[in-house]
Amino acid sequence: MADFATALRSRLINDAAVTAVVGSKVHWGIVPQGTALPYVRLQTISDPRPAHLQGYESARVTRVQCDCFAASYGAARGLAEKVIAAVAVPATVGSIQFGFVKAEGPRDLGEDTPNGFIHRASLDLLVEHA
């Protein structure tokens, strides 16, 4: 495993508290239609690549939007807190070294659907990694 996206998803689905709520329903980008609540959707918002005179540095900070969807406000917020706890401690997954992860949020969002209101707690995760 050598890519950031796979390693970050692995951190979440290998965390007992997150898995107890969503199982393996952590998706990058598009969530498969019909996916049952609750689940997590990840999207890269920015991925600046620091450079110096000899090229790019290996360490950088990627901003990932992490949306936690659930049937209730409390469940969405609780899932967001579990995600923060899962990535709070530096770790190495495959060849990716994760440093500090700063969490901004969660923001209270959601949407009306034909099946009722879906609650969404949205986090910005600023993930240090190399």
CATH code for position 91: 3.30.2000.10
**Residue that is written with structure tokens 């706890």 in the block:** 85
Element (H, E) at 91: strand 91-93
Q: Is 100 helix (H, G, I), strand (E, B) or coil?
A: strand
Whether the pLDDT of residue 120 is over 60: the answer is yes
- Residue 9's domain comprises 4-107+116-129
Q: For residue range 17-34, list pLDDT tens digits in order.
A: 999 999 999 999 999 999
Residue ranges of alpha helices (H) inside the chain are 4-13, 16-22, 73-87
Q: What is the pLDDT of residue 84?
A: 98
- The domain total for the chain is 1
The candidate with the shortest Cα–Cα distance to 8, out of 20, 26, 34, is 26
Q: For residue range 37-91, list pLDDT tens digits in order.
A: 999 999 999 776 655 666 555 678 899 999 999 999 999 999 999 999 999 999 9
116-119: Cβ within 8 A, 24+ apart: 116/71, 118/37, 118/69, 118/70, 118/71, 119/69, 119/70, 119/71, 119/72, 119/73, 119/75, 119/76
